[in-house]
Structure 1
Amino acid sequence: MADVLRYQITAGRFADGVLPDERRLGEQFGASRNAVREALALLRREGVVTRKPGVGTRVVLPKYGHGLDRLAGLAEVMTGYGTITNEVRTARPVAELPVPIAERLGVDPAAGGVHLERLRWLDGLPLSLDTTYLTADVGLRLLDCDLAGRDVFSLIEETTGQRLGTAEVAVHAVNADPDTAALLGIPDHAAVFALERLTRTADGRPVDVESIRIRADRMALTATLHRGLPPVENPL
């Protein structure tokens, strides 16, 4: 029951932020009053809802879905959810790239590049901390652009005249370090989504490496999966 309610909250089912009372929830789920209370208590401990006598159960912060089956910037994904703003904390060329970053971009570390760090806000509340490294020829063009108001992906396509093609994405859960937690407005060591992404242009060239820390209490990562044909068994 808690899983279903959590999904409904993420999907925006409770537009006014108020959940039905325990009796109605019990009727909807065919559950006992104790089962309803246990589910709501779990969501309260997770920080998803708050419960007060005479007020009822309310969503603490809305959760937004971020689809992983389309290559898009955060502002594109969040269109219609609210206003995205970016606090540009770092935007500078680097003479030498960290070796692991250079390896992912397929360049020599000495080739240099551009380092960006932006704190992303949604309707005045921190949502994610994005750290980006770009190849020099792509990143240097962006330093004179509106990094506070635009997505990096759209700026890359505009300044280079090339379309982005694919991205390799890995997502895992980590505990926020004190500095990241302070920037995101969450307790030290709170769980966050760690999204690591390598983005390529349409011709397959890697140009953008990102490490994004996303508040898990504000966003759900979603995808639409398609089942392919079963593997063909080799005859004996």
Structure 2
Amino acid sequence: MTEPTPLRRPRADQARLVADVVRHQIHAGGYPDGLPTEAELAAEFLVSRNAVRQALAVLKAEGLIDREPKVGTRVAVRKYDHGLNHLVGLKETFRDYGEIRNEVRAAMTVSAPPSVAARLAVAPGEPVVFIERLRYLGDLPLSLDMTYLARDIGDAVLEHSLEHNDVFALIELVTGQRLGGADVAVEAVSADPHSAAILQVPQSASLLLLERLAHLDDGRPVDLEYIRLRGDRITLRSNLIRGE
């Protein structure tokens, strides 16, 4: 059997490869007792120790690992998986990680901006209910959610506690219908100074902006959300099937 040969690529390319694989391992729960040594990682990936050192520097700058002399390299934080296969609220998504609580920053009736009105199939300027929540997992702020609800449903939702309930669950409660599906778009955005302060991240840190329009099972659009998720603590995951 032929022995593998070292990767003959620029150091920056080698470092990126190492960083990507190690990052994935961390997110998958790997290295509970600390990362391998630089020499061991270099042998595993068939790259130079300088490339490994550069990769670890990237992961340290991301806040994923800590490196201390005579102690070694350990995982500093782990991310939480947020699945995209099912239409569930944050409390349902993270029920295995701990308690989700909501800081309600706004709950009011507003005139629907034209783009919001179009998505909710109401007339521009028609009253809709707006809710803004800062959502915590324990003491960790995870997301800043802005929600627009159709007026009749939103008014009924506001009669219930928003501090410990998902809006999805309340919609199903007040309508007596199941949510049928949602249109979802995700993009990376930089944290503006205000959002950065609220979510306790550096200014211009990467956030995941999730836009989601949820429908009742009869097809009626009822819930338009703009959710800023901390990119340093949340990984979006989905299972994909190749079509014909």
- TM-score, normalised to structure 1, is 0.90
1:232 aligned partner: none
**Residues 29-108 of structure 1 aligned to structure 2 (within 5 Å):** 29-94=45-110, 96-108=111-123
1:194 aligned partner: 209
Task: State the Cα distance separating 1:2 from its structure 2 match.
Answer: 1.1
1:181 aligned partner: 196
**Residue 33 of structure 2 corresponds to residue 11 of structure 1:** no
From 220, 230, 235, the counterpart of 1:205 = 220
Query: Which amino acid is the alignment partner of residue 167 of structure 2?
Result: V
From 146, 155, 158, the counterpart of 1:140 = 155
Distance 2:82 2:216 in 1: 22
For residues 168-210 of structure 1, give each alpha carbon's deviation from its aligned partner in whole angstroms, at most 9, with x where no partner exists: 1111111111110000001111111111111111111100000
For residues 127-154 of structure 1, give each alpha carbon's deviation from its aligned partner in whole angstroms, at most 9, with x where no partner exists: 1100000001111111121211011111
Aligned partners of 1:11 and 1:64 also within 8 Å? no
Unaligned residue ranges in structure 2 (runs of 5+): 1-17
Report the CA distance shift for 1:211/1:41 in structure 2 as closer, same or farther (over 3 A): same
Aligned partners of 2:113 and 2:125 also within 8 Å? no
Distance 2:159 2:179 in 1: 20
For the residue of structure 2 that corresponds to 1:109, the secondary structure is coil
Report the CA distance shift for 1:14/1:90 in structure 2 as closer, same or farther (over 3 A): farther
Distance 1:47 1:155 in 2: 36
Aligned partners of 2:187 and 2:210 also within 8 Å? yes
2:183 aligned partner: 168
Distance 2:215 2:85 in 1: 15
The total of aligned residue pairs comes to: 227
Task: State the Cα distance separating 1:107 from its structure 2 match.
Answer: 0.4
Query: Which amino acid is the alignment partner of residue 195 of structure 1?
Result: L
For the residue of structure 1 that corresponds to 2:164, the secondary structure is coil
Task: State the Cα distance separating 1:85 from its structure 2 match.
Answer: 1.3
Task: State the Cα distance separating 1:30 from its structure 2 match.
Answer: 4.3
Task: State the Cα distance separating 1:124 from its structure 2 match.
Answer: 0.7
Which is further off, 35-44 or 209-218? 35-44
Aligned partners of 2:85 and 2:239 also within 8 Å? yes
Aligned partners of 1:68 and 1:221 also within 8 Å? yes
Distance 1:81 1:20 in 2: 27
Which is further off, 51-60 or 164-173? 51-60
Distance 1:168 1:61 in 2: 31
- TM-score, normalised to structure 2, is 0.87
Task: State the Cα distance separating 1:70 from its structure 2 match.
Answer: 1.3
For the residue of structure 1 that corresponds to 2:106, the secondary structure is strand
Which is further off, 103-112 or 166-175? 103-112
Task: State the Cα distance separating 1:28 from its structure 2 match.
Answer: 4.0
Distance 2:206 2:159 in 1: 35
Which is further off, 77-86 or 171-180? 77-86
Q: Identity, % of aligned pairs?
A: 54
Query: Which amino acid is the alignment partner of residue 200 of structure 2?
Result: G
Aligned partners of 2:38 and 2:52 also within 8 Å? yes
For the residue of structure 2 that corresponds to 1:228, the secondary structure is coil
Aligned partners of 2:78 and 2:233 also within 8 Å? yes
